[in-house]
Structure 1
Amino acid sequence: MRALVLTGPGRAEVHDVEPPVAVPGQVIVDVERVGVCGTDVELFAGTMSYLSTGRSRYPLRPGHEWCGRVAAIGEGVDGSWLGRRVTGDTMIGCGTCHRCRAGRHHVCADLREIGISGGVPGALAEQLRVPVGALHTLPDTVDETAGALVEPGANALRAVLGAGAGPGGRLLILGTGAIGSLVAQFARARGAEVHMMGRDEEALRLPRRLGVDGAWLRESLPPLPWHAVIDASNAPQLPALALELVEPAGRVVYIGLAGTPSTLDTRDLALKDIVAVGILGGSSGIPGAIAAYADGSVDPRPLVAATVGLGEAAGVLAGNRSAAGPGPKIHIDPRH
C-alpha cells in the first residue's frame, strides 16, 4: 500500500510499504481522511522535541487526526466492528499500569502515540492498524471532514472544560489556529462569552467568520475581566501573558506548545489564586466532541481550507498552501 514516510528533517516521500495485518485485539482501517497538524509539521521539519529525546525517530509515518472504515479485524475483536465508520484515540497506553487502570492512559509511562512516537505507524497511508480499545464509532451525521477533526476537537473540548467556560463566563483565547478556533466553538456551544486574540488582522478573519464576541490584536484588547484564558498558541511569551490577563481566582489553560521554553512567575500564580491546567491529548474528550459534531452544536468544517491527495502531503508539510482557502487546516485523502 502507499504511505507517507518521513525519512529525515525536511524529507518526505510516498513509499510502497507492506500493508498492516490484523493481529489479536486490533483492527485494520481503510483511511478516508487525515488532518495535518502542527505536530506533523514539526516532525517533518525535525524540530519536534521528541526527536531529540528519542521518543520519535526517523523513518517515521505520521498522521494522527483521521477517520475511516474498519476493513478487517483480529482475533478476539467483536465482529460488529467490521465495516463500521470510526475514528480513534492517538494515545496508546500499556493498559496495565496504575495510570491506565485509573483512566489516565494518555500519561502512561510507556505511552505510544499513533503517527508520533513509539514507532507506531500513522494514518497518512491507505490503511492503519489500531487497537480496538482506541476506536470510537462515528454516526452518519458526522461526515469525513468532521470525522478527521474529532481528535483536535477533543483536545479543544478538554481545554474548555479545564477553563470552566460556560454561561456567565468570559473566555479569552490566545491563538487563532485550528485548536483556538475549535476551543471558541466548543466554548460558545456551552454558553460562554468568547473572545480571541490574534497576531495580525489576517489572523482575525476566521474568528470573525465564526461569530465570536470579540476578535482583537494585543494592542486593541479591551481591559475586560477575563474569567479564564486559554493559551492555544505556539508563542513562548504568551503563557506569561495569559497569567497576567486572567482575573484573580480565575483559570488559565495551557494547550499550545512553543518550540522553545516558556517562563512565567509562579508568584503571580499564587498571589492571584489562579488554577492552571495543562492539556495533553484529547482522549477523554473524544465522545463529547463526536456528540457535539453529531448534534450540530459545533461545526468544525469551516476550518478546512483544502483536501488533497496523498501525493501532495509532503508539499503540505513543507508549507505549500497554494490551493488552499482561508481555513487553518489541510486534509489529506489517502485514497487519491
Structure 2
Amino acid sequence: MPEPVPAPGEVVVDVRRAGVCGTDVEFYTGHMAYLHDGNARYPVRIGHEWMGVVTELGPGADASWLGRRVTGDTMLGCGHCRLCRSGRQHVCADREEVGIRRGRAGALAERISVPATSLHALPDTVDDVLGALVEPAGNALRAAQAALSLGSGRQAERMLVVGPGTIGLLAALFVRAAGAEVELVGVSQTSVDFARSLGFTTWLGWDAVPETPFDAVIDAATDASTATRAVDLMQPGGRVVFIGIASTPSTIDTRTLLLKDVTATGILSASPGLDAAIAEFASGTVDARPLVAATVSLDHVEAVLAGEHPSGGPGPKVHVDPRR
C-alpha cells in the first residue's frame, strides 16, 4: 500500500494500537452486509478501533494536533445534510466509515489518514491500550446510559446484559460503575467464566436466568432469537436496548412492547459517546484493560480474523501493534 497523503483538512496518524472487531471478521469472511448492498467493496483496508500519534498535517489542518496522542471517530458524515448539521453525522446517509464504508481506509496499517475534525485527544491517564478501546467503549457507554434511564427521573436498578463479548462486558462495567446491579447471560462457557472473573453474576444459557424480571436489558448478542427473550424478561415500564447485530432479521411481538409499556432503543455508533468514554477511562471509574487478551503484529492479523485466539489472557479482544 502507498504511504497515506493527507488531503486538505486531514492528518496522518502513526497507529500505535488497533483492535480487531467482529465487523473486521465479517469483512474477512464476506458476510459483512455492506459488501452486499453496495456500501463497501474489495479491496478494503479494515480497522476502526485505534489510537496513535499525529505525525503529519494536510493543508488547512489545525497545527495544534501535531504530536498529540489521539483516537478518532469512525463515522464521517457529509457535513452538509440536516443530520450532520444537528450533530448526528453517525447516521448521515452519505457517511464514510473508517475501515468499513465507502472506501475509507482503516487502521490495520502503520499509518492512517483521517479528517482532523474526527480526532479526539487522549489524556496521559488513558494509556495506549485504553485508547484503542475508546471506540467500542463509546458504543457500550451509550447502550448503558440508554438502559439506565427509564424516564421520569427513574434509573434501572437491576439489569441483564445478553452477550458477554467486548461490547456486552464494557456495557456491564459502565452499568456497574453507575451503581446498578447487572447480570449477564451467554452461551459460551469461556465467555461466561471470564465475565465471572470480573466479578459479575453470569448465567450460562437462557434456562439458567432467574425468573425475576429486569428493569432493563441490553442485547449485545448476534443471535436473532435473543430479541424476543429480552423483551419477555422485561419488567413492565422497562427498557430494552439493542446493540448487537444479528445476521438474520429478529422478530418482536409489538403487542408485548405495548402491553408492558416497554421502550425499545437501538444504538448505532460510538460517535456521541466518545468523549464520555475517554472521561470514564481517564477518571479510572472503569478499567477495561483486562478485556484485551493479547497484542499481535500485523503479520498475525489474518490468523486472528480466521478465528485463531492468540495465547495470552482470557479476554475477548485482540489488539494489533503495527510497530512490531
The reply on whether 1:298 has 2:282 as its aligned counterpart is: no
Which SS does the other structure have where 1:203 is aligned?
helix
On the 8 A contact 2:294/2:310 being kept in 1, the answer is no
Kept in 1: contact 2:191–2:316 (CA 8 A): no
Residue 240 of structure 2 is aligned with which of 237, 252, 271?
Answer: 252
Taking structure 2 as the reference length, what is the TM-score of the superposition?
Answer: 0.96
The alpha carbon displacement at 1:75 in A equals 1.7
Q: Which residue of 2 aligns with 1:4?
A: none
Specify the alignment match of 2:3 in structure 1: 19
In 2, Cα distance between the equivalents of 1:232 and 1:139?
29
Contact 2:292 2:316 in 1 (8 A): yes
Match of 1:143 in 2: 127
Pair 1:261-2:249 in alignment: yes
Which of the numbers 90, 96, 103 marks the counterpart of 2:74? 90
Given the alignment, which residue of 179, 196, 199 partners 1:211? 199
> What are the within-5 Å matches in structure 2 for residues 31-46 of structure 1?
31-46=15-30
Secondary structure of 1:287's match?
helix
Q: Which runs of 5+ in 2 are unaligned?
A: none
Q: Residue 262 of structure 1: CA displacement? A: 1.1
TM-score, with length taken from structure 1: 0.93
Aligned residues: 319
**Aligned partners of 2:319, 2:310: CA distance in 1, in Å?**
14
Q: Give matches, 1:177-196, under 5 Å.
A: 177-196=165-184
Measure the CA separation in 2 of the matches of 1:200 and 1:328: 12
**Shift >3 Å, 4+ stretches:** 165-168
Q: Does 1:125 align with 2:109?
A: yes
State the Cα distance separating 1:159 from its structure 2 match. 0.2
What is the rounded CA distance, in whole Å, between the counterparts of 1:286 and 1:277 in structure 2? 19
Shift of 1:168: 5.8
Q: Deviations over 1:188-214 (max 9, x none)?
A: 1111111101114322112112112x2
Aligned counterparts of 1:109 and 1:53: Cα–Cα separation in 2: 13
1:229 lines up with 2:213 in the alignment:
no
3-state SS of 2:223 partner: coil
Secondary structure, aligned partner of 1:155? helix
Q: Give the corresponding residue for 2:100.
A: 116
Instruction: Say whether residues 1:335 and 2:319 are aligned partners.
Output: no
How many Å separate the matches in 1 of 2:194 and 2:310? 18
Gaps of at least 5 residues in structure 1 are 1-16
Matched position secondary structure for 1:281: coil
- 1:167, CA displacement in angstroms? 6.1
Question: Structure 1 residues 74 and 200, CA, compared in 2 at 3 Å: closer, same or farther?
Answer: closer
Structure 1 CA distance, aligned partners of 2:190 and 2:63?
49
Distance in 2 between residues matched to 1:96 and 1:140, nearest whole Å = 34
CA RMSD, 1 decimal: 1.2
Identity of counterpart residues, as a percentage? 55
Question: Would the aligned equivalents of 2:156 and 2:216 in 1 still touch at CA under 8 Å?
Answer: no
Q: 2-side partners of 1:199 and 1:36: how far apart?
A: 21
- Say whether the 8 Å CA contact 1:189–1:297 is kept in structure 2: yes
Rounded Cα–Cα distance in structure 1 between residues aligned with 2:189 and 2:67: 45
Counterpart of 1:122 in structure 2: which amino acid? G
1:316 and 2:304 equivalent?
yes
Aligned partners of 2:163 and 2:147: how far apart in 1?
15
